[in-house]
Structure 1
Amino acid sequence: MHIYQYCEMNSFIIITSVIVSVLCAILTSLQHYYSIKYFKEPVIRYDPPLFDDFIPTDDTSLSYYSLEDDTILQGLSDVLDPPKLHENTREQATETEVHNTLQAALAFHITGKINKAMKLFEHAAAMAPSDADVLNKYGEFLEKTQKDVVTADELYFKALTYSPDHPAALMNRRRTAQVVDKLDLEMLKMIDNKRDNLKEMFSKNSFDSIKKQAYFLHIYHTVGIEGNTMTIDQLKYLLETGQVVSGKSIIEHNEVIGLQLAMKYVKLLTRKNYISVNDILGIHRRAMGHVDPVKSGRFRNEKVFIGKHIPPPPKELPSLMEAYEYWLNSEEAQQLHPVRYAALAHYKLVDIHPFHDGNGRTSRLVMNLILIRAGYPPVMVLKDQREKYYDALNAANLGDVRPFVRFIAQCTIQILDMYMYGTEVMSIGNVEKEIINY
């Protein structure tokens, strides 16, 4: 009897243990399922983008050709063509030469010879781009004579970068910083108004020709800023016919084809609520896959130097990209104005510089993914804006990201103006007449 009771108790314990194990397994499975379902989904959801068809994926839309297309393309190009900036050659100069040039500029300013003073200030800044006195005096001149507070503020910041205790630059920047912040906010509001106006125009009519020609221009400028020498007509011929362009390298062909693939992929990503590291690797793989199949879609494994900027070593890239993904999808980032959010996403990725090549292209595509999801057309940095683009990135590397955000905001205005010009011309049926200035 005692043995029977002992066996019965053992059986009870075994059965109980099995039941508890099964229940634990079920609870673990349920916990895993609901953690994936409810906690890994991003908090902020996006409606389908209004302007996703600014990046066409239907190949037939590129193969259809009409004489009207060339007129539209020329008109859009004319709107985008920015005024040429003075190219300042940065030459070596002695302290005496810089000092004498600065004093001459100040003398011309005092006597009211503003144009001559401007040229000498520009020359002094070109000779001594890290001289705090030159930068500060140049900023004061622009602020007083040109009412250009924004550029003056940037010059004061640069002066403080090279001489943090410069008393005049400190005083000047304390005065201009808040003014510039207010001007930047006003510019973002203007961008929103332009976007809303464009949205209304597109809701009333279909402008497929404009979208198609803007698509060609986007690819042309995006690869062009990286050194691709194809003309817009050659690029159109390649994309419309698939035929080789005589006199152009294989790499230049592959850059165009790769960017087209990457833009199609970005359009697919606009339907997602979350931007992952794998998505960014996918963008890079498509943009650079035909140029460098071995390194495309992979983090670099060597240290690189970008001018004076030294990106982080390869061993830090996985953790930095994981942190970047977290920031991209955080409420903190997504509560920023979309243009500011997109510009910061661009800069942060370029700063990490995760790839051996193609970091600029990938960063601009990530930036445009954010803009498209927020209802803006994709922004293009024009070939002629290359110097200003890199100057703004350098300012961000020095610690002031505002000039870069401002530059991207100006590019956004430029692209909205281009589309609004195109829609107005199409609306009045004036595409066969001479293109007017917007």
Structure 2
Amino acid sequence: MNILVIVISVLLSVICVLLALLQHYYFINRITRKSSIRYEVPVFEDLIPSANEKKIAVSYPLQKMTYDEEVFDDDAVLSGLSAALLPGPNVKETKSNFIGSEKLTGSESEVYNTLQAAIAFKLSGKSLKAMKLFEHAAAIAPKNADVLNRYGEFLEQNQRDIVTADELYFKALTYSPDHQAALMNRKRTAEVVEGLDFDLLKKIDAKNDFLKNRFKLDSFEAVKKQAYYLHIYHTVGIEGNTMTVQQLRYLLQTGQVVNGKSIIEHNEILGLEKAMQYIKLLVKSSYIGIREILGIHRRVMGHVDPLKSGMFRDEKVFVGSHIPPSHDLVPSLMESYCDWLNSEEAQSMHPVRYAALAHYKLVDIHPFTDGNGRTSRLIMNLILLKAGYPPVMILKEQREKYYDALKTANLGDVRPFVRFVAQCTLQILDMYIYGTRLLSIDGISDDEHQIINY
């Protein structure tokens, strides 16, 4: 009997020791855990110039700079990069601004009559009139599953736009899960669209590999610096900043104020530059946690609202028709967000998808009173830089499309937002490829032309 008691005591002691070790290991692991993602060498890290690399000009306009014994005007390079960001003449823009819109409402009879007229024009081959009526029907009845489904069929069959059609079928099922026609259509298109999205990511990887090789040939300082200014210009421009890129560049290079522009606009630019410098430091960090996210926000908003910068919100906020979680839930939601951000599940995704979802999830929580969009875009770019991709630039001209994709994600379909970020990534790769080709001494081969014109 005594032996049994001794054995049981020993076993209990061993179990207690093991539990204590496991608890200690778990605690230490949470404090010092490292990211499991195998980051590539951040080739594009120096696309963000360090503070001591910026030249201080004494006059405006800025002086011309030399590049390999040829003279290049900063404004000419800047103009060329801006032009490269514009869609080409063969790029077809799809209209989806009605998605999630609730600005217009129509009576049931008006919606029915508009839809029937659109179908009639479609059957008679009058596609332009049919398009206008389908758009109107979707605008006055954005939650009508019949309208969304019929509009999707028109886009798929007459416009060959299967991606937007698939989004509309999904949306129809969001509002009417048992809609048989939408179910059948979605079953047919979902796999095709998934394949197209996969091809888009492959195209991004091909261009990214090509750009890495181009950057190995030379430093392309003119391209890097002007793209850096464009990045800040578009990022603050989305939020309503009215400075031109030339004025912004003048502010950052000289430290002088720009006449006619508000203090807030100056401070938004200065804060974003500080945040981008911080992002450059974080590229070598293996873990993105709450401390890092608060550090980004503190720099973004430090000049604009120092009392609330780097602090979670303590009030309820509204973002259009979207109501973010209560401020009481923000700390725990941010803990969960950081757990996901550093999880193997997230980091095993394609980096562009991972970055886009990290952006959306943070915007959805909306942890700060202001500066959520800028902070989310910086975290998105931090992830891309870590994975060996250049930082993405969302143009101020894409503001409406950007917010439409976020609204659609709020309705349950995050794919259009991921697709939007992927298209922006492709767009920025094209811009850099154009810039490196422009300033390359060796010219460009036929094979490289094929990649550029993918």
Task: Note if 1:396 corresponds to 2:389.
Answer: no
User: CA shift at 1:181, angstroms?
Assistant: 0.9
CA contact (8 A) 1:62 1:212 kept: no
- Structure 2 counterparts to residues 338-357 of structure 1, below 5 A: 338-357=351-370
Given the superposition, is the C-alpha separation of residues 36 and 184 from structure 1 closer, same or farther in structure 2, using an over 3 Å criterion? closer
CA contact (8 A) 2:45 2:280 kept: yes
Cα RMSD of the aligned pairs, angstroms, is 2.5
Give deviations 1:284-335, integer Å, cap 9, x for gaps: 0000000100000000001112122211111111111111111111111111
Given the superposition, is the C-alpha separation of residues 146 and 62 from structure 1 closer, same or farther in structure 2, using an over 3 Å criterion? farther
Given the superposition, is the C-alpha separation of residues 286 and 38 from structure 1 closer, same or farther in structure 2, using an over 3 Å criterion? closer
Partner residue, 2:267: 254
Task: Note if 1:336 corresponds to 2:335.
Answer: no
Partner residue, 2:125: 112
User: CA shift at 1:256, angstroms?
Assistant: 0.3
Partner residue, 1:76: 81
Q: In 1, Cα distance between the equivalents of 2:284 and 2:52?
A: 20
CA contact (8 A) 2:40 2:388 kept: no
Given the superposition, is the C-alpha separation of residues 189 and 85 from structure 1 closer, same or farther in structure 2, using an over 3 Å criterion? closer
User: CA shift at 1:263, angstroms?
Assistant: 0.2
Partner residue, 1:379: 392
Give deviations 1:93-117, integer Å, cap 9, x for gaps: 3222222222221111111111221
Q: In 2, Cα distance between the equivalents of 1:337 and 1:274?
A: 18
Given the superposition, is the C-alpha separation of residues 319 and 38 from structure 1 closer, same or farther in structure 2, using an over 3 Å criterion? closer
Structure 1 stretch displaced more, 65-74 or 169-178: 65-74
Given the superposition, is the C-alpha separation of residues 108 and 291 from structure 1 closer, same or farther in structure 2, using an over 3 Å criterion? same
Q: In 1, Cα distance between the equivalents of 2:94 and 2:396?
A: 13
Partner residue, 1:199: 212
Partner residue, 2:14: none
**Count of matched residue pairs:** 405
Which amino acid in structure 1 is aligned with residue 37 of structure 2?
Answer: I
Partner residue, 1:168: 181
Partner residue, 2:429: 416
Given the superposition, is the C-alpha separation of residues 196 and 265 from structure 1 closer, same or farther in structure 2, using an over 3 Å criterion? same
- Structure 2 counterparts to residues 179-328 of structure 1, below 5 A: 179-328=192-341
In structure 2, list runs of 5 or more residues that go unmatched. Answer: 1-16, 58-62, 65-71, 444-451
Structure 1 stretch displaced more, 236-245 or 60-69: 60-69
User: CA shift at 1:163, angstroms?
Assistant: 1.7
From 100, 106, 126, the equivalent of 2:139 is 126
Partner residue, 1:13: none
User: CA shift at 1:252, angstroms?
Assistant: 0.5
Given the superposition, is the C-alpha separation of residues 142 and 411 from structure 1 closer, same or farther in structure 2, using an over 3 Å criterion? same
User: CA shift at 1:423, angstroms?
Assistant: 0.9
Structure 1 stretch displaced more, 303-312 or 245-254: 303-312
Given the superposition, is the C-alpha separation of residues 34 and 328 from structure 1 closer, same or farther in structure 2, using an over 3 Å criterion? closer
CA contact (8 A) 1:225 1:383 kept: yes
User: CA shift at 1:373, angstroms?
Assistant: 0.6
Q: In 2, Cα distance between the equivalents of 1:355 and 1:162?
A: 31
From 52, 59, 62, the equivalent of 2:45 is 52
User: CA shift at 1:167, angstroms?
Assistant: 1.4
**TM-score, normalising length from structure 2?**
0.84
Give deviations 1:245-278, integer Å, cap 9, x for gaps: 1111111100000000000000000010110110
Q: In 2, Cα distance between the equivalents of 1:338 and 1:418?
A: 20
CA contact (8 A) 1:311 1:352 kept: yes
Which amino acid in structure 1 is aligned with residue 398 of structure 2?
Answer: Q
Give deviations 1:168-199, integer Å, cap 9, x for gaps: 11111111111111111111111000000000
Q: In 2, Cα distance between the equivalents of 1:39 and 1:282?
A: 18
Given the superposition, is the C-alpha separation of residues 80 and 139 from structure 1 closer, same or farther in structure 2, using an over 3 Å criterion? same
**TM-score, normalising length from structure 1?**
0.87
Q: In 1, Cα distance between the equivalents of 2:398 and 2:228?
A: 18
Q: In 1, Cα distance between the equivalents of 2:26 and 2:126?
A: 75
Secondary structure class of the residue paired with 2:73 = helix
Given the superposition, is the C-alpha separation of residues 180 and 45 from structure 1 closer, same or farther in structure 2, using an over 3 Å criterion? closer
CA contact (8 A) 1:45 1:273 kept: no
Give deviations 1:3-59, integer Å, cap 9, x for gaps: xxxxxxxxxxxxxxxxxxxxx9xx99xx78994699633333534411001111144
Given the superposition, is the C-alpha separation of residues 429 and 292 from structure 1 closer, same or farther in structure 2, using an over 3 Å criterion? farther
Q: In 2, Cα distance between the equivalents of 1:380 and 1:331?
A: 27
Q: In 2, Cα distance between the equivalents of 1:350 and 1:74?
A: 32
Partner residue, 2:6: none
CA contact (8 A) 1:132 1:163 kept: yes
Given the superposition, is the C-alpha separation of residues 38 and 102 from structure 1 closer, same or farther in structure 2, using an over 3 Å criterion? closer
Structure 1 stretch displaced more, 280-289 or 46-55: 46-55
Given the superposition, is the C-alpha separation of residues 45 and 98 from structure 1 closer, same or farther in structure 2, using an over 3 Å criterion? same
In structure 1, list runs of 5 or more residues that go unmatched. Answer: 1-23, 431-436
Q: In 1, Cα distance between the equivalents of 2:179 and 2:306?
A: 50
Q: Percent identity?
A: 65
Which amino acid in structure 1 is aligned with residue 74 of structure 2?
Answer: D
Given the superposition, is the C-alpha separation of residues 179 and 85 from structure 1 closer, same or farther in structure 2, using an over 3 Å criterion? closer
